Amino acid sequence: SAAPPSTAATARTRIDQAIRPTNSLVLSQTFLPRPLPEHNPCDYSIARPQLSIAYDNTTVRLTWNLAATPMEAIQNYEIYAYKQNATTSSSGWKKIGSVNSMRLPMVVTLKEFQCNCHYAFAVRGVSINNTIGPFCELKTVFTGNTPFDPLNTNQLLNVTL
């Protein structure tokens, strides 16, 4: 279904293409993603976003705030994801999209996830001078075994509250 018209920036991505498994492994009960690919040099004048995550059926909702950095100083936010399931290894961290900076808190809804997979997400700010800030503390979700029929596209929706 189409999203209602709004001033929110919309970007489309395909998480299932961007997050491809590479090697086999047995998944333990502990989900330990690889380290985040921090930018070098990292602009620590940009605060680390404070990320929270909510999962419902096949939708993941990321919400974040950026303390101590003026909204006007941020051009956009980069969203990274990491996927791992019981039969394949992790994909490594993949940039799945960017959203323009808007009034905080930022809210992004991601759709169409595979069942029985661990996903990790991280967000970082990019300044108006194109310097890249540090990643937030990563957040994880396990999608469980809820059956669903995947669609052909995924959406990143940037919505203000």
Q: Is the pLDDT of residue 44 over 80?
A: yes
Query: How much of the chain is in helix, strand and coil states, percent to nearest 5?
Result: 5, 40, 55
Span 29-55, average pLDDT: 87
Amino acid at position 11, single letter:
A
Of the candidates 16, 25, 2, 9, which has an alpha carbon nearest to the alpha carbon of residue 112?
16
Q: Specify the pTM.
A: 0.71
Neighbours of 67 (CB within 10 A): 9
More confident residue, 39 or 25: 39
Enumerate the H helices of the chain as residue ranges.
Answer: 15-18
The domains found in the chain, sorted by start residue, are 10-25+37-160 (2.60.40.10)
Are the beta carbons of 82 and 88 closer than 8 angstroms? no
Mean pLDDT value of segment 123-140: 96
What pLDDT, on a 0 to 100 scale, did the predictor assign at position 74? 96
Tens-place pLDDT, residues 17-36: 333 333 333 333 466 778 89
For residue 125, the model assigns a pLDDT of 97
Residue 128: its pLDDT value, please?
96
Q: What digits encode the pLDDT tens for the residues 61-111?
A: 999 999 888 889 999 999 999 988 766 666 689 999 999 999 999 999 998
The reported pLDDT for the residue numbered 105 is 94
**Residue 124 pLDDT greater than 50, yes or no:** yes
For the chain, counts of helices (H) and of strands (E): 1, 9
CB atoms within 10 A of CB 51: 20
Closest CA to 143 of 70, 64, 65, 84: 84
